[in-house]
Copies of this chain bind each other. A is one copy, B any other.
Amino acid sequence: MRYSKRVGSMQASPVRKLVPYATAAKKKGIKVYHLNIGQPDIKTPEGFMKAIREFDEDVLAYADSVGSDDLLDAMIKYYKSYDMEFNHEELLITNGGSEALLFAMMTLCNPGENILVPEPFYTNYNGFATCVDVEINPITTLAENGFHLPAKEEILARVDEKTRAILLSNPGNPTGAIYTLEEMKMLAEIAIEKDLWIISDEVYREFVYDGLKYTSFGNLENVQDRVIIVDSVSKRYSACGARIGSLACKNKDFIAQVLKLCQGRLCVPTLEMVGSAELYKTPKSYLEEVNKEYCHRRDVLYDAIMEIPGVVCEKPTGAFYMQVKLPVENAEDFVIFMLNEFSHNGATTMATPAENFYATPGLGRDEVRLAYILNADDLKAAAECMKYGLEAYKAAGHK
């Protein structure tokens, strides 16, 4: 019995593939520093569980397909604080940012059409695209250049008659890059010239460091009819398990199309919206504290990583990842070596091999993504493991 090409050709999770190696290392008594996952250790604001515990209806009924009024109202206020004006007809609550991205792709693209995406990109972009027969059309960016965008001509050269949208994450996962206002204006020009949508994944909006001014695509006036903003409570409020995301778009026609998909799956969970409405009411001071903590962690990990001879990494300015080029030929082989054959002071480090973050074959083979989601001491120890691990890897004859 055969399966569809779309699902058959999807990769199994590249992270999951390596989990057995980590499990085996732990069985040997080795401590594994997990820099491979994006699960924050920051406490979820207490308002989330408080509101849910107080929920007191006899029947856990369907919610409205568009999302609950309370959550929509809270999000509208949140956006207003960033000078973005949305109303109830311009917002849809989704099952995580994941469903928002899937629905956007389904709605904009016929099978065989493509979406421009700066690579390296969040690996699940590829998964969502594949399962709805959409192609990722990559714009290559480089570690040496801090993963900033190439010149306009280079991007225009990638656009063909089947290109429907530009999708990007800003702040970037896995790069930690923040696009400059000039880069954003260039993308906006391209979108207008080539009649493309812009899907802006801004789930790390508050994770911007070094006093950089962050601009949302929701703030660029001239493209509001073609900008779709994807958001999520997962990272912002350390509530990954709530699976509450959203789509915001000033183009009501687009929202009306996606609404049909929302109605098809009826609604997102009632209680998660009760809790998430409280999250969006969390005082900004919470987000500022979290920002400080991640900024500190970034500094600690970056300084420690840059002490390793041969690594290439521009200091990232956002999100909680860094994409690092290692002095090895095959980063996945190195990650497996670290779990399988190496330990330092009884510990080792697990990174994510980055090849799957690229659509262009062969790129990223010498890169890993590191998530700085551990405390400073653990991050230092993890980087030290990487350093000695690389020495041991080379000493064992690997290239």
Chain A, 52-92, contact with B by CB distance < 8 Å: what is the 0/1 string?
A: 11010011111101000000000000000000000000000
Residues 4-39 of A at the B interface (beta carbon under 8 Å): 4-8, 10-13, 16, 39
Residues of B within 8 A of A181 (CB): none
Interface residue A241 (Cβ < 8 Å from any Cβ of B): yes
Chain A, 97-127, contact with B by CB distance < 8 Å: what is the 0/1 string?
A: 0110010001111110100000000001001
Tell me the minimal C-beta distance from A286 to chain B in angstroms: 14
Q: How far is the CA of A390 from the CA of B368 in the complex (A)?
A: 70
Interface residue A197 (Cβ < 8 Å from any Cβ of B): yes
| Contact status B131-A197, CB under 8 Å | no
Q: A95-B95, A98-B265 are in contact. Are A240 and B4 (CB under 8 A)?
A: no
Q: Of the candidates B43, B127, B131, B256, which one forms a contact with A59 in the assembled complex, judged by CB atoms under 8 Å apart?
A: B43
Interface residue A376 (Cβ < 8 Å from any Cβ of B): no
Chain A, 255-291, contact with B by CB distance < 8 Å: what is the 0/1 string?
A: 0111111011111111110010000000000000000
Q: A61-B241, A240-B60 are in contact. Are A7 and B257 (CB under 8 A)?
A: yes
Q: Of the candidates B42, B263, B269, which one forms a contact with A269 in the assembled complex, judged by CB atoms under 8 Å apart?
A: B269
Interface residue A242 (Cβ < 8 Å from any Cβ of B): yes
Q: Which residue of chain B has its CB nearest to the CB of A132?
A: B132
Q: Which residue of chain B has its CB nearest to the CB of A110?
A: B4
Residues 218-277 of A at the B interface (beta carbon under 8 Å): 225-226, 238-243, 251, 253-254, 256-261, 263-272, 275
Q: Which residue of chain B has its CB nearest to the CB of A124?
A: B264
Residues of B within 8 A of A264 (CB): 10, 98, 124, 127-128, 131
Residues of B within 8 A of A42 (CB): 59
| Contact status B59-A4, CB under 8 Å | no
Q: Which residue of chain B has its CB nearest to the CB of A266?
A: B98
Residues of B within 8 A of A8 (CB): 257
